[in-house]
Structure 1
Amino acid sequence: MVATVTEVYLNPHQARRRAPTQYEDLLGDSIERAYGAGITELAALVAHLNRTGPGCPYNNGVWTEENYQEEIARLAA
Structure 2
Amino acid sequence: MRTPELYNETHQTRTAPPTSYESLLGDSIERAFAQGIHDLAGLVAYLNQAGPAGPNGQPWTETTYQQEMARLGA
TM-score range, shorter chain: 0.7 to 0.9
How many corresponding residue pairs?
A: 72
1:15 shift after superposition: 1.2
**What is the root-mean-square deviation in Å for CA atoms of aligned residues?**
1.6
2:50 corresponds to which residue? Answer: 52
Unaligned runs of 5+ in 1: none
Gaps of 5+ in 2: none
Equivalents in 1 of 2:6, 2:55: separation in Å? 38
TM-score (norm 1): 0.84
Contact 2:29/2:43 (<8 A) preserved? yes
Percent sequence identity is 56
- Among candidates 34, 37, 59, match of residue 36 of structure 1: 34
Question: What is the SS of the residue equivalent to 2:15?
Answer: coil
- Structure of higher CA gyration radius: 1
